[in-house]
Structures are given as structure tokens and as C-alpha cells.
Amino acid sequence: MVVSAIIGQMFLGSILAYLLTLTHKYFKTVVTTIILIAWATPQVTAGIMWYSTLSYIPEGTINVILKNMGFHPIDFFSIHNAIYSIIIANIWIGLGFSVLIFLGGIQSIDPSIIKASYIDGAKPFRRFFSIIFPLLKTNIITDLLLITLFTLGTFTLIYVLTAGGPAGSTELLTIYQYETGFSLFSLGLANAIGVIIIIIALVLSLIYLRFIKVS
């Protein structure tokens, strides 16, 4: 949740959106379109694509490249690496949504504020963290709430890539709920897990609202 949603999607998405506003309009359109294609890609398709890219046996695209460069292949779906592979894939899928939200927020900021920061000699990243980012409270809370729900509810991507393995290292609550309901046929416990997911989402939402007060 922290690495994939908050850092990888919200924080990285806001920085990428800001950098796109500094580029040429044509380049911004091309990059935004590429990012949104990733967001619009069905998770089954995305999972198959990432599996063929990171696979160890048979060797996926990255391991073929590493082998041709003289390096040893890496098992990206080992018990120690699988969760990180899923995090990267989930960031790739959800980044476009965050970028879209923050692009709209940045473009709605009063241009005179941005011009004043230029006159004061603020560097691009100082301008972003000291002026622009604090003005995006509404966009931040909206993005955090939605990507939290998306991330907590992620199932298809994980199931296609690892099915919760190896050795349960990627068995998130959604995978556990599915296995409980459809493999163990314990529907009551599966429903209870669903309620727990909702409670976690509610608690996180309240924490966001507490620390990011929207005026």
C-alpha cells in the first residue's frame, strides 16, 4: 500500500504531472497518452504482459536481455522478489490515473502564482514542493482515496502473476478471500474478510482526511 499507492502512484504521479507541464505540448500529449494506455489496459492483459517480461522459466524479455549482456537471469517471482514485481506492475497500471488527476489540478492553479515564483527565482523542484504541491490538497486527497480503494481491491493482476505464491508471499487479502471462498468453500469467512477490507479502506480514508485537511 505505502510503496505502490502512496509513493509509486500518488507521489510519483504528481511529480511526473508537473514535469509534463514543463515540456512541449506535443511531447506532453504523447507521454500522457502512453501512460493512460497502461491505465486502460485490462489487468489480465497487463498480468500476462508483465509475466512474459519478468518470467524466469521460460526466460522473459528482461532475463533474455540480461543473459545476452553476460549477466545471470533473475527470478523476479521468487519468494523474496515476487512482491516487488507486483508493486512495480501495479504502479505501472495506476500511474496514469494519478497523473491525470494532478495534471488537471496543476493546470487549474492561478498562473499568476506560478509567474510570481519565476520572478522570485524559485527553481523547478523548489517551485513544485513549496508552492504547487501544497495547493493540490483536493487532488491529493481524491487521488489517495481512489488509489487506496483500487490497491486494496487488486486481485486479477496478482492472481495472473503469482496466484498468491510462492509460499504465500504475495497472498494479499483479496487472494486470501478468493481462496477461502472458492477453494475452502468457507463463504462466511470470505465475507468477513471482505468486511475487513472495507474497514481498512475506511480507516485509511479517515487518516488521509486527518493529515491532509482540505480547506
Would you kindly state where each structural domain of the chain is located, as residue ranges? 2-211
The pLDDT of residue 36 is 84
Per-residue pLDDT of the chain (215 residues), as tens digits, is: 888 988 999 999 999 999 988 888 888 888 888 888 888 889 999 999 999 999 998 899 999 999 999 999 999 999 999 999 999 999 999 998 999 999 989 988 888 888 888 887 778 888 888 888 888 988 999 899 999 989 998 999 999 999 998 888 999 999 999 999 998 889 999 999 999 999 999 998 888 888 776 54
Q: What share of the chain is helix, strand, coil (3-state, %, to 5)?
A: 75, 0, 25
| Whole-angstrom distance, CA of residue 191 vs CA of residue 168 | 20
The pLDDT of residue 111 is 83
Please tell me the CATH superfamily of domain 2-211, with its number. MetI-like (1.10.3720.10)
The pLDDT of residue 74 is 94
Cell digits of residue 64? 533474455
Position of cell 491525470? Answer: 100
Predicted TM-score (pTM) of the model is 0.88
The pLDDT of residue 215 is 47
In order of 1, 12, 116, 145, the CA distances from 108 in angstroms are: 29, 19, 16, 20
The pLDDT of residue 121 is 78
